[in-house]
């Protein structure tokens, strides 16, 4: 499929626009502007009031003012000073000031005795009003060229406001009238303008209100962006689902055995999620579901019940974790469940070599192994299943859409279930996983005691160590998390080493273990294993223990310099305790005095254990890119839309996109054809390929 001719002018080279040469085009690339259409979506971030005043006397400096003046005498600089020009408005005499200026040029620009309109920032110096380097100097008859309210764009070296405003105007003049892709009732309900009108209004604001997120023109353009993104995700979802899945119908026998062996009943949320997943597995379409649960919400049980459905239906299941430590932990937590069901469970990691590995691969291919737990080693070419029905992937954010597809390709049409322990605000979940169906575990299993969280200043560290000594004497275990210092693993390493030495001196040899990012993996694993086995009582660590580590006997978590950690990180770390029967505590040590954000962050953590509430708060405080780390988040970069403040638009866009595709999967109706234009316009080429494949 090639780009529609209607859009050609917007995709031409930048220097085809009037007033843009090759040099300016190169400078504009620094703003992400490479074609005329990019200028349309380069939004002004503020504006300057340039409405005419009769005199500078009517305003309170420092302020931008526009007045008509009569030009008086010129005073060239003495020595290194500035060049000054006296001017007079209707009531006041003041000075225009120029640094490093050429006199002959200023004589021509500002001829004594003539009238000019000047606009710029006026300040007072020693009681005298001055305007340094006016932004605009116009003849009275050109006054109409200056808008009463001038939009201000982000700049980059080699580009001025004037040049940008001119280029944007040229790009808008080139934009064709396009058919409407927004659902008519939605557009009427929200009071949104047509696309072309929205562009014009956004780039010619009349006041600050027109620049706000809530301005109808701005909202409309933001919605276009979110809608195009959700269309792309929904098309990906359709393509995945169109791929024939297998029908895996569980008999319930193995599941009943496992449930009977549990000391507790599953929560309502777990039961609901298990039913949703079993329903997907039974349908002929491929499952592509996200299981989102807070720390300790019992995702492992849900995933294992789903794996049992695959085995009951005569197939196999696989569970993948991002690291070897986590894969081993899954193996440990699943082993008792597998024994209850009478299944064979095996672990495959990069460490398996030679004859042992070959034997596992044979058993896998023959179907003797029912469920395989592993790291990305499960992806290797020589790994073959007899009949893979379900792949469970742990910790989604290290796993993009591409890997989901690759994993799906391992089994002829295996269902995919992705688990994440990072509660994600709804708007971001829709942005990153809009191609998936979502099951949420929003309650904790019974018998989990709340974790006591306390804030304590770092100068009370001796009390903390004394408290730790008593707890260790009673047979309890603790984590001590050292701060991440300025992204330098070396400093981390020394801070962890120093803390390790001081705790060892206080608590005794052999009581304290250490893990940090600089250790060889085998040493790290061994240190973790000693802690899991209860040989060491206190584990000093950098944040490597964030995800998934499970030591039920550990009931104390100390986080040093807690104020420099993100909310989600603090929540994940705290979730490492509170997994056993004992009352658990989490001590957040901070360096006083706390800044505003630090205080707000620590208070939120102290006051709630609800990961979803914490993540919404995190989003409000840090913004979307930081929340999932833009680099690996696969989050789209929106130019107009703001995920933090326009979350509701994202939800509307998803419903709308799914509805449009349900009615018109090939996008051939008039609205469908308009939506295709939108996809081209916003560079959603991936989606366009998916339609043409479809």
Q: Would you say residue 326 lies in a domain?
A: yes
Q: Would you say residue 613 lies in a domain?
A: no
Segments forming the whole domain that contains residue 101: 51-146
pTM: 0.65
Position 402 scores a pLDDT of 53
* C-beta separation of 481 from 545 below 8 A: yes
Please state the φ and ψ torsions of residue 606, each to the nearest 5 degrees.
-65, -35
Q: Would you say residue 259 lies in a domain?
A: yes
Domain identity same for 457 and 388: no
Domain identity same for 189 and 203: yes
Domain identity same for 142 and 176: no
Domain identity same for 480 and 467: yes
Domain identity same for 96 and 195: no
Express the helix, strand and coil content of the chain in percent, nearest 5 each: 45, 20, 35
Assigned token pair, 424: 């994600």
| Percentage of the chain modeled with pLDDT above 70 | 87
Average pLDDT taken over every residue of the chain: 85
Q: Would you say residue 117 lies in a domain?
A: yes
Q: Would you say residue 628 lies in a domain?
A: no
The string of DSSP codes covering 190-208 is HTPPPHHHHHHHHHS-SSG
Position 625 scores a pLDDT of 41
pLDDT of 525-542, one tens digit each? Answer: 888 889 988 999 999 987
User: In 448-575, which ranges are E strands?
Assistant: 452-457, 477-481, 512-515, 538-541, 554-559
- Binned at pLDDT 50, 70 and 90, residue 582 comes out as confident
CATH number of the domain that residue 58 is part of: 2.40.50.140
Domain identity same for 356 and 462: no
The arithmetic mean of pLDDT across residues 137-157, rounded, is 90
Domain identity same for 422 and 340: yes
Count of domains for the chain: 4
User: How far from chain centre, in Å, is Cα 177?
Assistant: 34
Domain identity same for 142 and 193: no
* C-beta separation of 531 from 513 below 8 A: yes
Q: Would you say residue 101 lies in a domain?
A: yes
Q: Would you say residue 366 lies in a domain?
A: yes
- Binned at pLDDT 50, 70 and 90, residue 386 comes out as very high
Burial string for 332-346 (b: 16+ CB within 10 Å, else e) reads eebeebbeebebebb
Domain identity same for 411 and 549: no
Domain identity same for 477 and 573: yes
State the Cα–Cα distance between residues 107 and 96, nearest whole angstrom: 13
CATH number of the domain that residue 460 is part of: 3.40.50.300
* C-beta separation of 368 from 376 below 8 A: no
Assigned token pair, 504: 């060892």
The arithmetic mean of pLDDT across residues 511-535, rounded, is 85
Give the pairing type, strands 115-125 and 63-75: antiparallel
Measured between alpha carbons, how far is residue 294 from residues 363, 439, 499 in Å? 35, 12, 30
State the Cα–Cα distance between residues 187 and 652, nearest whole angstrom: 12
Q: Which DSSP state fits 563? A: G
Domain identity same for 98 and 131: yes
- Binned at pLDDT 50, 70 and 90, residue 630 comes out as very low
481: β partners = 541, 559
Domain identity same for 419 and 456: no
Q: Would you say residue 428 lies in a domain?
A: yes
Last residue of a domain, one of 608, 636, 665: 608
């Amino acid at each position: 499929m090639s780009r529609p001719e209607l859009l050609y002018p917007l995709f031409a080279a930048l220097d085809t626009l009037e007033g843009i040469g090759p040099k300016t085009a190169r400078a504009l690339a620094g703003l992400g502007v490479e074609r005329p259409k990019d200028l349309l979506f380069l939004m002004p971030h503020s504006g300057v009031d340039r409405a005419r005043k009769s005199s500078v006397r009517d305003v309170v400096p420092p302020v931008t003012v526009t007045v008509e003046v009569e030009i008086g005498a010129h005073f060239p600089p003495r020595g290194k000073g500035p060049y000054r020009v006296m001017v007079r408005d209707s009531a006041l005499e003041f000075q225009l000031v120029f640094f490093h200026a050429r006199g002959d040029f200023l004589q021509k620009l500002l001829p004594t005795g003539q009238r000019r309109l000047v606009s710029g920032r006026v300040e007072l110096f020693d009681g005298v009003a001055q305007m340094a380097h006016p932004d605009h100097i116009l003849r009275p008859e050109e006054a109409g060229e200056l808008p009463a309210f001038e939009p201000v764009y982000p700049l980059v070296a080699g580009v001025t406001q004037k040049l940008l405003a001119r280029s944007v105007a040229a790009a808008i003049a080139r934009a064709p009238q396009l058919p409407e892709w927004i659902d008519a009732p939605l557009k009427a309900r929200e009071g949104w303008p047509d696309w072309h009108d929205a562009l014009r209004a956004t780039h010619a604001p009349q006041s600050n209100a027109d620049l706000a997120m809530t301005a109808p023109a701005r909202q409309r353009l933001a919605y276009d962006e979110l809608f195009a993104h959700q269309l792309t995700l929904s098309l990906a979802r359709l393509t995945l689902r169109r791929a024939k899945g297998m029908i895996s119908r569980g008999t319930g026998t193995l599941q009943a055995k496992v449930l009977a062996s549990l000391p507790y009943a599953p929560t309502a949320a777990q039961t609901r999620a298990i039913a949703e997943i079993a329903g997907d597995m039974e349908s002929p379409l491929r499952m592509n579901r996200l299981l989102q649960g807070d720390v300790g919400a019992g995702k492992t049980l849900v995933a294992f019940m789903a794996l049992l459905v695959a085995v009951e239906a005569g197939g196999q299941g696989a569970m993948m974790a991002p690291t070897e430590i986590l894969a081993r932990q899954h193996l440990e937590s699943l082993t008792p469940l597998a024994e209850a069901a009478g299944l064979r469970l095996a672990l495959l990691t990069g460490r398996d070599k030679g004859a042992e590995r070959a034997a596992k691969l044979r058993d896998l291919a023959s179907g003797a192994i029912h469920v395989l737990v592993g790291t990305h080693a499960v992806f290797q070419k020589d790994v073959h299943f007899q009949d893979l029905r379900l792949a469970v992937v742990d910790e989604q954010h290290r796993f993009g859409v591409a890997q989901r597809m690759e994993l799906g390709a391992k089994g002829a049409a295996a269902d995919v279930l992705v688990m994440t322990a990072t509660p994600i605000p709804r708007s971001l979940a829709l942005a990153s996983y809009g191609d998936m169906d979502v099951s949420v575990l929003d309650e904790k299993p019974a018998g989990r005691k709340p974790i006591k969280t306390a804030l304590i200043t770092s100068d009370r560290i001796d009390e903390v160590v004394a408290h730790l000594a008593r707890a260790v004497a009673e047979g309890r275990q603790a984590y001590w998390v050292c701060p991440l210092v300025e992204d330098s693993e070396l400093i981390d390493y020394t801070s962890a080493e120093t803390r390790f030495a001081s705790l060892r001196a206080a608590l005794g040899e052999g009581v304290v273990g250490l893990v940090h990012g600089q250790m060889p993996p085998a040493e790290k694993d061994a240190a973790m294993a000693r802690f899991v086995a209860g040989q060491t009582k206190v584990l000093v660590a950098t944040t490597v223990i964030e995800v998934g580590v499970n030591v039920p006997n550990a009931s104390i978590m100390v986080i040093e310099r807690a104020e420099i950690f993100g909310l989600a990180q603090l929540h994940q770390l705290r979730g490492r305790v509170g997994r056993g029967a004992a009352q658990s505590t989490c001590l957040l040590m901070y360096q006083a005095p706390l800044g505003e954000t630090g205080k707000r962050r620590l208070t939120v953590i102290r006051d709630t254990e609800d990961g979803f509430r914490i993540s919404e708060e995190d989003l409000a405080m840090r913004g979307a890119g930081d929340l999932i780390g833009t680099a690996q988040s696969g989050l789209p970069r929106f130019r107009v839309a703001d995920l933090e403040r326009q979350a509701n638009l994202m939800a509307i866009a998803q419903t709308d996109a799914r509805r449009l595709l349900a009615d018109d999967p090939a996008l051939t109706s008039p609205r469908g054809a308009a939506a295709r234009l939108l996809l081209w316009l916003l560079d959603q080429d991936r989606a366009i390929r998916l339609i043409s494949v479809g």
